[in-house]
Amino acid sequence: MTKRHDLTRRTQALLLAAALGLSPLVVAPALAQMRGLSVGGPNIHVGPRIPINPSVRYSPNLNYGPVVEDRIENGPPRTRKPPPERASKKSSRNPVAAADRTFVPNEVLIEIAGQPTAAQVQDIAKKHRLRQVQSQHIALLDTTFYRWRIPDGRSVDTVVKQLSADGGIKSAQRNSIFRLQDDPGGKAPFQYALAKLRLPEAQALSTGEKIKVAVIDSGIDIAHPELAGSIAGTFDALDSKEKAHAHGTSIAGIIAAHATLKGAAPAAKLLAIRAFGESKTGAESTTFLVLKGLDYAASNGAQIVNMSFAGPRDAVIARGLAAAAAKNMVLVAAVGNAGPKAAPLFPGADPHVIGVTATDASDAIFAKANQGAYVAVAAPGVDILAPLPDGKYGVSSGTSLSAAYVSGLAALMLARNPSLTPDEVRQALTQSARDLGAPGRDDRFGAGEADAFAAVSAVAAPVATASEPSARAPR
């Protein structure tokens, strides 16, 4: 839970101002005088994030923090009781708190050598006393992964060791857990990130048109007014009937909102990929589900992949990211919210990924952000107003949100110059960033805060000359 914030009239006024096209810089000084002013429109209340139901049977839970919600209906905020939790078998002999788990405690993820028949797969599972759960062919890696359960209480590492010694097994590993990276929100000027990133100036040059951004996340409210016309495709790695979720909806809005709010790339198209399942404590995913989402993104023309989640180093995910980068896909991820002394989290620390940290309205680093040599750039991620399901809005914080801004900025750059490689996008972002903290690159801010206008200006496509015809010119 968080403290109740006095945001009702404040946020009403800000949303109204946005609808009227007023600058946040004009509105902000007047907010102190708004206490006695009655403003029509939706009431904004502080309340707990809506509890969510378990649906990924074999995946542990994730703690997901509260946000400030814009409840369209009038009335006080209500705390909704979570529905009854579905029973799940826990075969680990040393159970660990769900929020502390880094892998599913009773599952393994394997590849089988060659092209096995169904009978051969069944024989291997029987030989190792495993129960088949699911399999998926991953076109990105041209291989099939099998997700199997350990029904007899053996540890995952014991089973992985046994499988690795089997000549018929190509690879075996844990089914890692990845968690969304956001935190409770507080108070900040309305959409201050626009000015911080110089997005209005950048959007005069590019709005992200014709660029596909894959959002691998929890469920996105594709019917939200902020996302009207933005969705180019949807994929549910869970094959679930879950409702839209706050985190995924917010991330999509930060990238492409274009109604009351303004996203980083309002003309970009989104691939809404649900890879994070809901539970009473939050939303989390696994190696298997993230890989399915990444494969869908690669197979459906995504030029950018936003990954606002974090987890342990994972060999299979690393292979998928390397393959995606080889297909010229720009990969952006949150560096994580585990704190400045925490070990690196992935995919944000992967060398093929642009790892993004979060800053606030005063350019201070987000206190919970991971720090390290893998931090590429910073972007606003504290007290960010973004869409929530059912036409609502909310304020939250975290490196998840800053990653979404950088994904949108990458879309502006690619729309401006479609020939850019992922390395060129990274280079332009870091070289044009506004230095923060110690002079030069550092482990807190990376190269500094992203500057959308400078980055987009730096990547303008060269003008073709008579002696050098454009690569896109007909021959």
Q: Strand pairing partners for 49?
A: none
CA of 232: how far to CAs of 29, 111, 269, 271, 388, in Å?
39, 32, 6, 6, 19
Catalytically active residues, by annotation = 217, 247, 400
* Buried residues in 79-111 as b, exposed as e (16+ CB within 10 A): eeeeeeeeeeeebbeeeeebeebbbbbbbbbbb
- Dihedrals φ, ψ of 205, to 5°? -100, -30
Which residue, 405, 86, 33, 45, is CA-closest to 255? Answer: 405
